[in-house]
């Protein structure tokens, strides 16, 4: 497939042009760290060449060694033929400027909740120093738990997942972040195996993709753990349990921040009596909501 490429492509500019053409011709799907062919090709190329990930321009006309070109083209071929997301090929994902270790045991970090945590959930959290206990449900790679610990410097953060395999990755990321003493993982089916605690903040990016949408997922997303994506017929299976059980684990005036992706209509249909605050990010308007304990308590 890439025999001629091995001899004709000599610079980073050549490889970038070739990569974008191949990505577009193959109709790849993006959304695991980049949303277009150019950015994804730049990331894979700079990662392969051990160059700074935000510095492509100065190197565009630099020549690559034959072994460097071969190594990159092998990665490119896997991205195209196997439809493996770039993060699984490199073993890392970047979110809000932080690097996280990933592999197919966890979904690739991309939650827009991360953007809100970078701003310490302002203005909904008046003083980040007042947040003492935070719970991250369905933690996966642990990325939101780690960002929460950074956002709220006095908080102890519990990172919960039902998958022991996911928690192995989360533990790696916690250790790499230097937050071992402040972020603790727990294997639990939501709250079932979790010690009683009153959290001032619960964040959750649960499986919420409805069955019909699951059947239409691009091949790239099928490399991710199904149990971390599939939310049942209307996407609300786990969310129903979560909203019922959360008040017992929220402090007075405690808050739940919940991601529901593209399931706004299904959420409204399932919970017509709730009136959440919808939190906007740079690219989302109705995908993240905030509810207080008082709103959730019957």
Predicted confidence at residue 4, as pLDDT, reads 57
Number of neighbouring beta carbons within 10 Å of residue 2: 17
Predicted confidence at residue 3, as pLDDT, reads 58
Predicted confidence at residue 58, as pLDDT, reads 95
Whole-number mean pLDDT of the chain? 96
Weakly modelled stretches of the chain, pLDDT under 50 = none
Predicted confidence at residue 273, as pLDDT, reads 95
Structure tokens at 61: 């006309």
Predicted confidence at residue 283, as pLDDT, reads 86
Partner residues linked to 209 by β-bridges? 230
Residues 6+ apart with CB under 8 A from 283: 112
Looking at residue 276, the DSSP 8-state letter turns out to be P
| Rounded distance between C-alpha atoms, residue 121 and residue 140, angstroms | 21
CA terminus-to-terminus distance, the chain: 62
Predicted confidence at residue 6, as pLDDT, reads 65
Domains of the chain: 3-90 (1.10.8), 93-296 (3.40.50.150)
Percent helix, strand, coil in the chain (nearest 5)? 40, 15, 40
Question: Is 161 strand, coil or helix?
Answer: strand
Handedness of CA 10, 15, 21, 23 (dihedral sign): positive
For 102-124, how does the pLDDT look when each residue is reduced to its tens digit (9 = 90+)?
999 999 999 999 999 999 999 99
Q: What's the Cα-to-Cα distance from 178 to each of 90, 113, 155, 172, rounded to whole Å? A: 22, 22, 15, 10
| Rounded distance between C-alpha atoms, residue 115 and residue 4, angstroms | 43
Predicted confidence at residue 298, as pLDDT, reads 75
């Amino acid at each position: 497939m890439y025999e001629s490429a091995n001899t004709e492509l000599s610079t980073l500019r050549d490889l970038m042009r070739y990569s974008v053409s191949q990505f577009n011709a193959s109709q790849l799907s993006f959304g695991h760290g980049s949303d277009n062919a150019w950015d994804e090709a730049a990331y894979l190329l700079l990662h392969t060449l051990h160059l700074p990930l935000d510095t492509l321009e100065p190197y565009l006309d630099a020549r690559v060694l034959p072994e460097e070109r071969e190594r990159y083209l092998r990665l490119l071929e896997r991205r195209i033929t196997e439809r493996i997301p770039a993060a699984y090929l490199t073993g890392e994902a970047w979110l809000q400027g932080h690097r996280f270790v990933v592999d197919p045991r966890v979904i690739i970090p991309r939650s827009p909740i991360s953007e809100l945590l970078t701003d310490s959930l302002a203005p909904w959290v008046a003083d980040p120093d007042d947040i003492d206990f935070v719970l991250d449900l369905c933690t996966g790679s642990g990325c939101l738990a780690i960002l929460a610990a950074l956002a709220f410097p006095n908080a102890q953060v519990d990172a919960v997942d039902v998958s022991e395999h996911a928690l192995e990755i989360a533990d790696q990321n916690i250790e790499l972040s230097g937050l071992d003493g402040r972020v603790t993982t727990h294997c639990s089916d939501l709250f079932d195996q979790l010690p009683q605690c009153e959290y001032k903040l619960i964040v959750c990016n649960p499986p919420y993709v409805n069955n019909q949408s699951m059947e239409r997922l691009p091949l790239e997303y099928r490399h991710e753990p199904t149990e971390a994506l599939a939310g049942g017929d209307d996407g609300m299976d786990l969310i129903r349990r979560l909203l019922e059980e959360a008040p017992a684990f929220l402090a007075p005036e405690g808050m739940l921040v919940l991601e529901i992706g593209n399931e706004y209509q299904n959420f409204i249909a399932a919970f017509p009596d709730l009136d959440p605050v919808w939190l906007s990010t740079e690219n989302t308007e109705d995908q993240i909501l905030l509810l207080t304990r008082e709103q959730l308590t019957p």
